Amino acid sequence: MSFVTYEMEGPVALIGLNRPDKRNAMSEAVLKDLREAITRADAQADAAVLFGHGLNFSSGLDLAELAARIAANAPPPRRRKPSAWHEAFDFIQRGGIPYVAALHGATIGGGLELACAAHIRVAEETTLFGLPEAQRGIFVGGGGTVRIQRILGYETMADMMLTGRMLTAEEGRQFRLVQYIVPPGQALARARELAARIAGNAPMINWQITNVLPRINDLSHNDGLFVESLNNAMARSPETLDRLRAFVEKRAEPLLKGNASDTSRQS
């Protein structure tokens, strides 16, 4: 049995966490199946959607599996290995295609770390965000110290970790965790719509937005402008010229309808 479903919808890969009886808790088996799915999507799709089957996106790390592993008192490895969580989530955030996360219900711990690896997040009004690791005697381990902290800032993330504070969908929007809020049952549809639009962009531009843009944000002002200039000096693909001519000749398709109607629910 696979704990992650995979389906192609045109140029968009739909990747679903499929362990609803455990609130899509992230076990080693789930992580393995997720890595296989995102590797497949990188080769086949132009954009992808992450979602959770059942009532929740993901409740995070499988604590029962962790407890059993600790109780076994296995000797530590001879040398430190790269984190499988870091490798998988980095491949989502800085891989070849953009990801849209459709969130609902529990999106906590490792589930929130996974969601923050996506480039766009759509949350249903039922979504709850949390980082309860401290109450379980553990520290975040899926890259949250980097991804979540850069979104929330230290103070808000520390508050959530130290006190167990949960954020509602609206609070998540206020703290930049999500860009879109939708009524219950509509996150996946909205995420699919956004991913389809993203897949219509030139692949190289999508790659620059998801890989170059965040790196420039880590640079100094002058270095950022320098890297921007280097990217603009790259050879243009024939597709770029076709798209420019389509716009000039008024052959380009108009922007998707409906965007203006929900701007009040966007960040």
Q: Which amino acid makes up residue 183?
A: P
Q: Is 133 a catalytic residue?
A: yes
Q: Which of 133, 170, 171, 249 is catalytic?
A: 133
- CA 148 distance to own-chain centroid: 11
Residue partners of 90: CB distance under 8 A and separation at least 6:
117, 143
Query: What one-character DSSP code corresponds to residue 198?
Result: H
Describe the strand order of the beta sheet including 106-108 as a list of residue ranges: 106-108, 128-130, 167-168
Q: Is 170 a catalytic residue?
A: no
Q: Which amino acid makes up residue 48?
A: A
Q: Which of 7, 36, 113, 253 is catalytic?
A: 113
Half-sphere exposure of 32 (CA within 13 A, CB side): 5
CA gap 28, 66 in Å, rounded: 10
| Long-range contacts of the stretch 62-66 (C-beta < 8 A, 24+) | 62/22, 62/25, 62/26, 62/27, 62/30, 63/25, 63/136, 65/27, 65/28, 66/138
Residue partners of 69: CB distance under 8 A and separation at least 6:
none
CA gap 178, 175 in Å, rounded: 8
Residue partners of 17: CB distance under 8 A and separation at least 6:
3, 4, 24, 26, 30, 34, 50, 51, 52, 53, 57, 58
Q: Which amino acid makes up residue 84?
A: A
Active-site residues: which are they? 113, 133
